[in-house]
Each structure stands twice: as C-alpha cells, then as structure tokens.
C-alpha cells in the first residue's frame, strides 16, 4: 500500500510529557507534541494530527 507509514512510538506518555516541557524551540516542541498526540490517541493519522497543531503533513518541522 503506497503512502502508508507505520510509526512505532517507544516512549511512554510520561516521557513525552517531560520532553515536551524541556523543548526550547517551537519546531522541536511541535515535533514532540505531534508524537504525544499520536501516542495518546488524540490523532489517528499523521495528517490528522498535523492539522490539529496547525500544519499540513508535508510542512511538519523536521
């Protein structure tokens, strides 16, 4: 299936919360926030979750 990306998030929700709190730049914070939202089930797909934080999947910070 083309375009489908499987993502395994190894960090726990608590670890991601801690990482989110210590980020210094907006782009780093957005990256961690995206992973946190996926981990907690608030977003089902990367595209949907990216829109939740105000980005398109293509324009996510790298």
Structure confidence by residue, pLDDT tens digits, 21-61: 999 999 999 999 999 999 999 988 888 999 999 998 888 77
Return the structure tokens found at 36: 């946190």
- Domains of the chain: which residue ranges? 13-59
Is 7 a residue whose pLDDT tops 80? no
Q: How far apart are CA 40 and CA 42, in angstroms?
A: 6
CB-based contacts of 34-41 (< 8 A; 24+ apart in sequence) = 34/60, 35/9, 35/11, 38/7, 38/9, 39/9, 39/11, 39/13, 40/13
């Amino acid at each position: 299936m083309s375009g489908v990306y499987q993502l395994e998030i190894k960090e726990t929700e608590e670890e991601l919360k801690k990482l989110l709190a210590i980020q210094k730049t907006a782009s780093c914070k957005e990256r961690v926030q995206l992973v946190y939202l996926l981990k907690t089930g608030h977003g089902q797909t990367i595209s949907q979750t990216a829109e939740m934080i105000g980005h398109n999947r293509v324009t996510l910070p790298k």
